Amino acid sequence: MNLAIELPGLSLKNPIMPASGCFGFGREYSEFYNLSKLGAVIMKAATGSERFGNPTPRVAETASGMLNAIGLQNPGVHKIIETEVPFLSQFDTNIIANIAGSTLREYEEVAYAFNEADKVHALELNISCPNVKEGGIQFGTDPSMAARVTEAVKKVSHLPVYVKLSPNVTDIVSMAKAVESAGADGLSMINTITGMQIHVPSRKPLIANKTGGLSGPAIKPVAIRMIYEVSQQVNIPIIGMGGIQSAVDVLEFLLAGASAVAIGTANFQNPFICSDIIDELPSVIEKYGFHSVQEVIGKGIVS
Amino acid sequence: MMLKDKMKIVSTTYIAKDTIEMVLENSNITEYAVPGQFLHIQVGTHTLRRPISIADCNKQLNQIKILFKVNGEGTNKLASYQQGEYLDVIGPLGNGFTMDGETNSTVLLIGGGIGVPPLYYLGKTLKEKGINIVSVLGFQQKDHVFYEQQFQELGETLIVTDNGSYGYKGFVTDVLDQINEFDCYYSCGPIPMLKALTTKLKGKNGYISLEERMGCGVGACFACVLPTMDGTSYKKICKDGPVFQAEEVTL
């Protein structure tokens, strides 16, 4: 069974990769299995300098999902290039660097810094983090701002750029088209949906940041709908994500038009989830009458 | 060494109000468990696992005891599991208590509520090393008290309840003046208790075990972090802790 997929900058042995923010820089999960098995690893977001993130609690469980507001905690792009990229590059997989910033200038700096990291294969441009006060989502909810940051990053970077879209918008297609016109090589969708949980005994929002990003199976139908709509309107590939828990879920994302997928929250429940899904994928693809991953892409779209 | 494995429920018993003691069996996880570590337990189809500290470990029988309080949907579901069923567990996780005390030295254990359990396995292990144990255990009220007998077998034990319905009235910090000299203390309990305690025992050699809402439990997601005392860095409770030196982190 051929699971391989070719995307800009990425020769994936299979379409499975852990999603940014849910896998750190791979160190912890490498104690469970060999990361060379993965199609790619998307690293936790990098910002210009070190960020400590939000106060705790930072997570809350919800029905079929969870809220998080970590706040882009990371050691900063230079430390990541110095210590984390070399760690991940010992594995036979692709490395995608997720980049974030508070200003256009910071996005450019972080993107530029990764030009020096020859083991990084692509950038995932995070314009959709709902949990930081400035930047992040403000670039991800306005098509002209999204286009500007995409264009700026494309200008300074040698790497293919996948723009990670926020679902917290009225018209996802116009966002996708805007970044495609600005030169995006691919899309990554969807990020989390902004939500809140009030802790009844204490009568206040449970998460210290008040709002958080909803992830997990609860948001899968939203992701499928958005990928379905966008994949018909753009000519760049989509890395799909949002609540994937099984190989059948992967098939659903491919049918909707994604070319590869990322798995996030499910890693917390089962540290082996990416590895397990890679093992199960061939039989699931075969069961539903296909012969390769490539063949499945977009086959769920009805005219 | 962290593993993901099935643990068989050997028994499940209510030992105090809303408090369950569960005995779990699995040779791989028990082999590596040390006092202060925790298990990350899958409960039904809940998205997030529940971190629960190891209260005791019998390496001959391959058994671990956990104690938990039923106070939400997850723990309620966990309480519904029956003897003979299996739990999906990741563990043992985190770093345990540092145990470098010398023979005949005296250690003070201070536990509050559901923070008491990890101190039991610790106390038992220290006693086997010839260390004297003194315990102060705080509970809300009489019907919440558990493991009094077990701690008494380790050494002098003072019980404190918020309303005085059993033992001394007040907080654990109120009875510390009655304790003779000790060389080191270990504590686990609610944050306000740990704050009061570390302030009162400032300068003493001590270790505290912390709780926080966790995501992955293995150090990848950065949900359960807290700043270090000097404010220049942070620690992950699940991976760098849950045990910290008393003056290492900001509560």
Please check whether residue A183 lies inside any domain of the structure. Answer: yes
Give the A window 86-145 contacts with B, CB below 8 Å: none
Query: Can you give the CATH number for the domain in which A81 is found?
Result: 3.20.20.70
Cross-chain Cβ contact A29/B215 below 8 Å: no
pTM assigned to the model:
0.94
pLDDT of residue B180: 85
The residue extents of the domains of chain B are: 3-93, 97-205, 210-251
- Asked if the domains at B97-205 and B210-251 fall in one CATH topology, the answer is no
Note whether A59 and B225 are within 8 A (CB).
no
Per-residue pLDDT band at B102 (split at 50, 70, 90)? confident
Q: Tell me the CB-side half-sphere exposure of residue A240, using CA atoms within 13 A.
A: 31
For residue A36, give the DSSP letter.
G
Q: What are phi and psi of A201, to 5 degrees?
A: -60, -35
Report whether the peptide linkage leading into residue B92 is cis, meaning its omega lies within 30 degrees of zero: yes
Task: Convert the pLDDT of each residue in B149-181 to its tens digit.
Answer: 999 999 999 999 999 999 999 999 999 988 888
Distance CA B57, CA B37 (A): 11
Per-residue pLDDT band at B10 (split at 50, 70, 90)? very high
- Domains: count for chain A: 1
Distance CA B80, CA A80 (A): 45
Note whether B91 and B38 are within 8 A (CB).
yes
Q: What is the pLDDT along chain A (303 residues), one digit of tens a residue?
A: 899 999 999 999 999 999 999 999 999 999 999 999 999 999 999 999 999 999 999 999 999 999 999 999 999 999 999 999 999 999 999 999 999 998 899 999 999 999 999 999 999 999 976 666 565 667 889 999 999 999 999 999 999 999 999 999 999 999 999 999 999 999 999 999 999 999 999 999 999 999 999 999 999 999 999 999 999 999 999 999 999 999 999 999 999 999 999 999 999 999 999 999 999 999 999 999 999 999 999 999 998
Nearest residue on chain A to B47, alpha-carbon basis? A65
Domain B97-205 belongs to what architecture?
3-Layer(aba) Sandwich (3.40)
Please check whether residue A71 lies inside any domain of the structure. Answer: yes
Cross-chain Cβ contact B47/A27 below 8 Å: no
B225 touches chain A (CB under 8 A): yes
- List residues of A with catalytic annotation: 129
**What range does the domain containing A223 cover?**
5-296
Chain B residues with CB inside 8 Å of A267's CB? 216, 220
pLDDT of residue A128: 76
Domain B210-251 belongs to what architecture?
Ribbon (2.10)
Question: What is the distance between the terminal CA atoms of chain A, rounded to a whole angstrom?
Answer: 29
Q: Has domain B3-93 been given CATH number 2.40.30.10?
A: yes
Nearest residue on chain B to A26, alpha-carbon basis? B220
Q: How many other CB atoms are there within 10 angstroms of residue A276's CB atom?
A: 16
Please check whether residue A303 lies inside any domain of the structure. Answer: no
Task: Give the mean pLDDT of B116-132.
Answer: 96
Cross-chain Cβ contact B215/A59 below 8 Å: yes
Cross-chain Cβ contact B49/A268 below 8 Å: yes
A66 touches chain B (CB under 8 A): yes
